[in-house]
Amino acid sequence: LTGTSREQRAFQYLLAHAIPGDPHHILQTFDQWCYHCEHLSCVGPDKGRIVERVLLEQAPLRVLELGTYCGYGTVLLAQGLPPGARLYTIEGDPQHAAVAEKVIRLAGFSEQTVELIVGPSEEVIPRLREKHGLINANLVFMDHWKRCYLRDLKLLESHQLLAEGATILADNVLFPGAPHFLQYVKTCGKYHCKVHRASLEY
């Protein structure tokens, strides 16, 4: 009725209630909106703890996120980066990217720390090194269209964008599910796989 999207309404709520420059409070405010107002398919606090644990264990200097959406996962990743690290995040939907850009900057992250790239992942990935300066990624967080997981992983491999010992963290591989991706990573012999059990968002 208002003519604004759920994502835009969530951002208006952030503006009214979140503390600018405080990533943790930005995420908490997002969670309040999603629990009590409207559901958004953000990572959420339950799976967020898994992401935080991986960041703490790996301390990656170059992180790639596929599927920025509203910027929740981006803020979650960015707040856990070690000093001097850089996060590249790709979003295919320009309207979602416009909201995410504002959320990322509201959380206090500059373009030197977080670079948001708008475009289809299959077009952006081949240009990451040449156009955006990503030599390779130590951590990749996949949270975009599940049908694209396998295609994009193979693109990352073929363009040598995975650092030695890189970690691939893929959300929602069981539900709604990415069966071809799962089969590939389990059987190709390049990866050691671990499934983290978690509830759905909110």
Among the listed residues 7, 138, 152, 172, the single catalytic one is 172
Q: For this structure, is 143 an active site residue?
A: yes
Among 33, 111, 45, CA closest to 78: 111
Contacts of residue 49, defined as CB under 8 A and 6 or more positions apart, other chains included, come to none
* Sign of the Cα pseudo-torsion (12, 50, 190, 179, in order): negative
Catalytic site includes residue 22: no
Which one of the listed residues 7, 65, 152, 171 is annotated catalytic? 171
Question: How many other CB atoms are there within 10 angstroms of residue 66's CB atom?
Answer: 26
Per the residue annotation, which of 65, 91, 143, 152 is the catalytic one?
143
Indicate if 146 belongs to the active site. Answer: yes
Catalytic annotation, pick one of 47, 101, 146, 152: 146
Residue 14 near residue 30, CB atoms below 8 Å:
yes
Residue pair 100/106 in contact (Cβ under 8 Å)? The answer is no
Active site residue 172: yes
Which residue of the set 31, 101, 152, 201 is catalytic?
A: 201
Cβ neighbours of 95 (radius 10 Å)? 11
> Catalytic residue at 186?
no
State the catalytic residues.
Answer: 143, 146, 171-172, 201
